[in-house]
Amino acid sequence: MSRQRVSLRQELPLLVWLVVVWCALWQDFSPGNLLFGALISVAVARMFYLPPVELSGRFNILHAIPFALMFLARVMAASFQVMYFAVVRGPRVSKAVVAVPLRSHQDLLVTATGHVLSLIPGSLVVEVDRSSSTLYLHTLNVDDADGVAKVRREVRDIEARLIRIMGTREELEALQQEATA
């Protein structure tokens, strides 16, 4: 089975990342280890099919900074909430698995949204339906339809913030049209 040739421009970020990971694992950034890491990364990229990550070509720092602050605030608040549930409510905490269809079908944005959600205590992505861009989250303290709707709103808010940071122009326009509708 032959695969399409990926340009060096598309593959370069992957190769650089693999070299950084190699050197970090060995805790050695000497010229010899960098060169050997580069050879290993080229071999891995040639031997194993890794689909290229398609970037939108835009990154908005003015949205990224507030997003990072919001993320840290949610992590802190959720940490205290989970601690409260563990200490006070124990096994009586309600739980649910909630399906949340996302707007974006880009692997990068779906993955970024899933990772952000999984890093916030109290929620965990248990499944991703790539064909429909649906995330399935295990969440705490959800016991009715209002709780499910709240989880979906929060997930779509995080996705919208990520679209504003690094989504395609088409996704950004669709998001703006959704906001005005």
- State the average pLDDT for the chain: 89
Residue 140 lies in a domain: yes
pLDDT over 90 (residue 116): yes
User: What's the pLDDT at 47?
Assistant: 83
CA distance 134 to 99: 6
Question: 123 and 173: one domain?
Answer: yes
Structural domain that includes position 32: 8-47
> Do 175 and 122 share a structural domain?
yes
Average pLDDT over residues 7-36: 87
Instruction: Look at residue 111 and tell me if it is in a domain.
Output: yes
Pair (163, 121) in one structural domain: yes
Single pTM value for the model: 0.75
Same domain for 95 and 169, yes or no, is yes
Please report whether residue 3 resides in a domain.
no
